[in-house]
Amino acid sequence: MLKTYLTDNHISVYALSKKSRISYSTLNDIVNEKVDIFNVKSGILYSMARALQLSMDQLYDICTDNIEIYDENNRIYAYVIKKNKTYYLKFTYKNIDYQHELCAIKKESTIFIKSIALWQLEKDLSEIKMEEAYALCVKTQR
């Protein structure tokens, strides 16, 4: 989370505004997550990254604050990402990328987001495996 990064590194929004030449109000909206990082122009992100002496990838990771989860049964890592005030589950299974909308970002959902994501991952994988099994059955009947 960008706000935490700035606090941990003793950087104020005002100081970042001066160094990056981005308006204080724009930066304040980004830092306080009033705007989705995916809707911020790349030039602004570039100026921020440069002022913070970070790569664009590092800045993206800080701003998105992805949560990593691991399904031990299937040995799969998945990520919970924030986008447009919503949590999404992203994972790759057999070289296919999947994304599933989980829930709106609210205080109540944030507390349980890891459990929600793990449950959804297990459910999605179960459905994928069922579809594979069905496709195999149909294929062998021909």
For 114, the token pair is 């890891």
How crowded is residue 61: how many other Cβ atoms within 10 Å of its Cβ? 13
What CA–CA distances, in Å, run from 48 to 13, 22, 39, 83, 128? Answer: 11, 8, 15, 20, 41
- Choose among 81, 43, 77: nearest CA to 64: 81
Straight-line distance from the first to the last Cα atom of the chain, in angstroms, rounded to the nearest whole number: 53
For 110, the token pair is 């944030």
pLDDT digits (tens, 9 = 90+) for 17-28: 999 999 999 999
Q: Give the mean pLDDT of the chain.
A: 89
pLDDT value at position 49?
94
